[in-house]
Amino acid sequence: MVSKRHNPSALKYFSELTDREHAIFEAGVSLGAIFHQLVGMPVNLWKKEELERALSNAFCTQPFRADIEIKINAEKIARGLIEPYNYGVITPESLDVKVIVEYGDVKVKARMRWIDELGYPLMYIEDVT
């Protein structure tokens, strides 16, 4: 893995963090940004895959993001379709997001998805290497 860190002038703001902690922090920033920017966004189910790709690519431009995969559950969107216009909106229940952050020599895989038993869109760390 290529070493990736903030430039030296920014590092002073993160001096108390290890690379591991910083990578986890960056993953949390991504998940929070994705959630709060997407909930309520209109979705046309005929163009769902196109939207998923565009959103994944857009959020991947944030620093230290190696990969982002945003999936929108069509069944959950379909329940709230607005007729006769045939579109719905992204809800917390409809998002399934995977984020991979590389910071320094650390790689973090984080996830956000709806957990039925919690009734909540949980953001959590799947793996740190």
* Helices of type H across 12-119: 19-38, 48-59, 74-78
Angle between helices 48-59 and 19-38 (to 10 degrees): 140
Q: Of 48, 20, 22, 36, which is closest to residue 112 (Cα–Cα)?
A: 36
Write out the two tokens for 51. Answer: 């939207």
Over residues 85-103, the mean pLDDT reads 94
For the cut 70, the answer to whether the pLDDT of residue 91 exceeds it is yes
- What confidence score (pLDDT) does residue 7 get? 87
For the cut 80, the answer to whether the pLDDT of residue 107 exceeds it is yes
The domains of the chain are located at 17-128
Q: Please name the CATH architecture into which domain 17-128 falls.
A: 2-Layer Sandwich (3.30)
pLDDT tens-place string over residues 2-52: 458 988 899 899 989 999 999 999 999 999 999 999 999 999 888 999 999
Convert 51-65 to b/e letters by CB count within 10 Å (16 or more is b): bbeebbeebbeeebb
Query: pTM of the predicted model, to two decimals?
Result: 0.91
